[in-house]
Chain A
C-alpha cells in the first residue's frame, strides 16, 4: 500500500492513528509515555513505514533470482533456514542490498508529505532538509534554500556514484 498511496494520505492516517487523544496513540502515550505525533520518533517511524516497501521489493526480487539449489545445498549440509539466509543468501545479494539501502535512504531523505503531516515543521525537532528548502523559498530566502538544496544534491550525488562504482566493481565483465 505505501508504494501507491499518496504520501500525504499515509501521513494523514498515521497522524490520526498516533494522535495521543485516542486509539493506539493514546495507549502508547498512557503506557509508555511515547508520543509519535510531532516528534522525531514519529518522523522516523512514519518514514520507516513509508519507505520499507522500496527496500523490500528489490531485495525480494534479488533473492528470487538466486538459484534454488544454493539454499537446498545448505539445507543438505544440516544448516537451518536462518543460517542459510544469513551465511549464504544474504551475502550473495550484496549489490542489490546496497543499492536498495542507499536508494531507500535517499528516498527517505527527500520525503516531504508524510514527514510534514506527522512531524509538522518544528525547528530543531522535526524540520528536515527537504521541508527546510520549501520553508526558505516561502520566506523568499533563496540563499538559505540554495544551501539546503546544494547539500542534499551533493549527498545524493555521492551516494548514487558510490553505488554505481561499487556495483561496477562487483559485476564481472561479460568477456571474463
Chain B
C-alpha cells in the first residue's frame, strides 16, 4: 500500500497554484494518471521518486515513511529506488543496451529475462542512438524495472510507440507487473491508451 498526502506550490504560466494530492494506491495496482498539460503530473511522479521535494505532507510505501515534512524525513532518490521511466527516456548515450541493464543490476539472469521481455536480445551491443524510438522506450522501461522497484513511475511511456508495438508491450508489461507485484503509476495524456493495462485511474486537474 502506498499512501500519499502531499502539497507543492507550482509556478504555472497563469501564476502560482498549489498541487494537492491525497491518495492511496493498492500494492500491485496499475494506475493511469491523466490531466491537462501543466497540471503537475510529472512533478507528482518526481515527488514520489525523491527528485522534487514536496512543500508539505508525507509519502508512505509499505509502512516505510519515505517523506514526512513534519518529522523531517526525506529519503534520497537512491534510497527510494523508485523505477522511473522519463518522458525523454533519459538513456545514457555512452552505454549500450546490455550496459544500461548492467548499470542497474548485477543479476545476469534478470538481465536475460528483461531483454527477452523487451525483445532486445539481438540489440545488446547497440547504443541508444542506433535504436528506434520504440526500442529506446522499451529499454527505458526495462532499465527502470531492472532494480525491481516497489513502485514504478512512468511518464508518458507509450507516446512514441506504434499501435501494434503498444499493444504487444502492454500485454507483456501486464504479465510482468503481475509477476513482480509492482505498484505502477502511469502518466498518460490519453486515458484510452492504457485500456486493458490499468486497473485504477486518477485525474490531476
Which A residues have a C-beta under 8 Å from some C-beta of B?
A: 67, 69-70, 72-80, 87-88, 91-92, 94, 172
Contact = CB atoms under 8 A, between A and B. Distances in A.
A78 B103 CA distance: 10
Given A88-B94, A92-B94, A76 B88 contact: no
B78 A80 contact: yes
Interface in B86-127: 86-88, 90-94, 103-104
A70 B88 CA distance: 10
Given A77-B104, A91-B94, A72 B78 contact: no
A69 B80 CA distance: 17
Contacts of B22: none
10 contacts: A70-B90, A73-B86, A74-B92, A75-B78, A76-B51, A76-B78, A76-B80, A76-B144, A78-B147, A91-B94
Given A77-B81, A87-B103, A72 B94 contact: no
Contacts of A72: 46, 49, 51, 77, 84, 86, 90
Interface bracket on B: 20 to 34
A70 B82 CA distance: 15
B158 to A, nearest CB: 18
A172 B129 contact: yes
Taking each of A80, A88, A172, which has the highest tally of chain B beta carbons within 10 Å of its own beta carbon?
Answer: A88
Contacts of A74: 92, 103
Contact of B90 (A69, A78, A80, A94): A69
B92 A78 contact: no
B81 A67 contact: no
Interface of B: 46, 49-51, 76-84, 86-88, 90-94, 103-104, 129, 143-144, 146-147
Contacts of A80: 78
A77 B90 contact: no
A166 to B, nearest CB: 15
Contacts of A87: 103
Nearest to A75: B77
Contact of A75 (B76, B91, B94): B76
A72 B43 CA distance: 13
Given A75-B77, A91-B94, A69 B88 contact: yes
